[in-house]
Amino acid sequence: MRYNVVKGAKYIIEDSEHVIKKPETHKNKWHMVFGNNNPICLELGMVRGIFIIEMAKANPNKNFIGLEIDGSQTATAVKNIGTKKLKNLKIICADASNIAEYFGKEIDTIYLTFSEPWPKNKMRKKDLLL
Ligand SMILES: C[S@@+](CC[C@H](N)C(=O)[O-])C[C@H]1O[C@@H](n2cnc3c(N)ncnc32)[C@H](O)[C@@H]1O
C-alpha cells in the first residue's frame, strides 16, 4: 500500500475532537467516552479510515474506534470524516502493540483486515508527524 506524508498531520490530529489523545486514560471506561452502553467495535490499522467511517455512519447504534500508527494516515482519516461530527466514532493514533494498555474487556468486535505489520526499521508515528 502507498502511504502519503501529510504535512501538518500533528496539528490536524491535535485539533480533531474525534481523536482521543491519551487512550490509556480511558481503559475500562470507553462507554463513558461515547456516553452510552452500545457495543464498541475497534479497527486496528484503519489507514485512511474509509471502512470505519462508513461503518459508523451505517450503524448509529454501535460505537467505533479506528486505531492507526501512522500520523499521516490518521490525519487523512480525520479529513475523511469531514466537518459533520460522528458521535459514535473515535480515532486513536497509536501502536496496536499497546492495545492492552488502552482497552479492557469493553471491546465487542475487533476488525483486522489486510494487516501489514509496521516494519521495525520504518519511521514511527513521532517521525511522521511533520
Ligand atoms: C495494509 S494496511 C490495512 C488495510 C485496511 N485494514 C484495509 O482493509 O483496507 C495496514 C495498516 O496497518 C497500519 N499498522 C501497521 N502496524 C501497525 C501497528 N503496530 N499499530 C497500528 N497500526 C499499524 C499501517 O500503518 C497501515 O495503515
Domain with residue 38: its CATH number is: 3.40.50.150
104: phi then psi, degrees, rounded to nearest 5: -100, -125
- The count of structural domains within the chain is 1
**What percent of the chain has pLDDT above 90?**
81
How much is the pLDDT for 105?
Answer: 93
Write the pLDDT tens digit of every residue in 51-83.
999 999 999 999 999 999 999 999 999 999 999
Q: Tell me what pLDDT residue 130 has.
A: 44
> Which set of grid coordinates corresponds to residue 114?
489486510
73 within ligand 1 shell (Cβ under 6 A): yes
| Contact yes or no for 41/106 (Cβ under 8 A) | no
Task: Tell me the mean pLDDT in the region 116-129.
Answer: 59
Within a domain: residue 3?
no
In a domain, 1, yes or no: no
> Phi-psi bin for 27: left (phi > 0), alpha (psi -120 to 50), beta?
beta
Distance between Cα 68 and ligand 1 center (Å): 6
User: For residue 45, which amino acid is it?
Assistant: G
User: Per DSSP, which regions of 24-124 are E strands?
Assistant: 40-44, 63-68, 89-93, 109-111
**Ligand 1 midpoint to CA 46 (Å):** 6
Point out the ligand 1 atom lying closest to the alpha carbon of residue 46: 6
Instruction: Give the whole-angstrom CA distance, residue 115 versus residue 31.
Output: 27
**DSSP code for 5:** P
Average pLDDT along the chain: 91
Q: Considering the domain boundaries, does residue 83 fall inside one?
A: yes
CA dist., res. 40 & res. 63, Å (int): 5
Distance 119 CA to ligand 1 centre (A): 11
In angstroms, the CA 13 to CA 9 distance is 6
SS3 79: helix
| Domain containing residue 106 | 9-128
Residue 74 in any domain: the answer is yes
